[in-house]
Amino acid sequence: MKKLYLFLFVAIAAVSCTQKIEKADLKKLNGYWEIEEVIMPDGEKKEYKVNPTIDFFMLSGEEGFRQKVMPLLEGGYRTNGLREKMTIKQEENKTYINYKTDHAEWKEQILKVNEKNLVIKNEQDIEYHYKREEPFTEK
């Protein structure tokens, strides 16, 4: 009986951690995102205090790209110019980002996206929790 309760708790928690992603939500994906935490399939968590690179997403309609960039102390960003092409697809009431480069193709499920947070799960069930990146500013 305890196993049944544990299973139900885990199932409810898993469902409550995801939101239904609407087309209007997708424009919130645009911008700079910094990884805050990674959760492995076994529940192990890895926190990121400082990130040398962040992810820049640019989506127009259902197509766009993701690019790794490095924030500069004086403002702005440096990049190596490499972009991962991406398209958004709906499958079985779930929203996926399909990536494509010259060397690989893969997809990640969008679990949550709003103005401040983004959660994506890859095909290995690793969850990436992002926060909206705030650029360096001089005071």
- 48-84 residue pLDDT tens: 998 899 999 999 999 999 999 999 888 889 998 899 9
Q: What percent of the chain has pLDDT above 90?
A: 70
pLDDT confidence of 136, banded at 50, 70, 90?
low
Beta bridge partners of 34: 131
Residues in the chain: 139
pLDDT at residue 75 in the model? 83
Q: What is the pLDDT of residues 29-40, one digit of tens each?
A: 999 999 999 999
Among 9-18, 24-33, 39-48, name the one with the lowest average pLDDT: 9-18
Q: From CA 11, how far away is CA 23, in angstroms rounded?
A: 26
Judge contact between 41 and 125, C-beta under 8 A: yes
Q: Domain-by-domain residue ranges, the chain?
A: 21-132
Q: What is the pLDDT of residues 100-135, one digit of tens each?
A: 999 999 999 999 999 999 999 999 999 999 999 876
Judge contact between 129 and 37, C-beta under 8 A: yes
pLDDT at residue 69 in the model? 96
DSSP-derived secondary structure letter, 41: T
Q: Is the pTM of this model over 0.95?
A: no
pLDDT at residue 103 in the model? 93
Strands 127-132 and 77-79: unpaired
- Domain 21-132: give its CATH code: 2.40.128.280
Q: Give the helix/strand (H/E) hosting 113.
A: strand 105-113
Judge contact between 110 and 101, C-beta under 8 A: no
- Distance, CA of 51 to chain centre: 15
pLDDT at residue 17 in the model? 52
Beta bridge partners of 132: 33
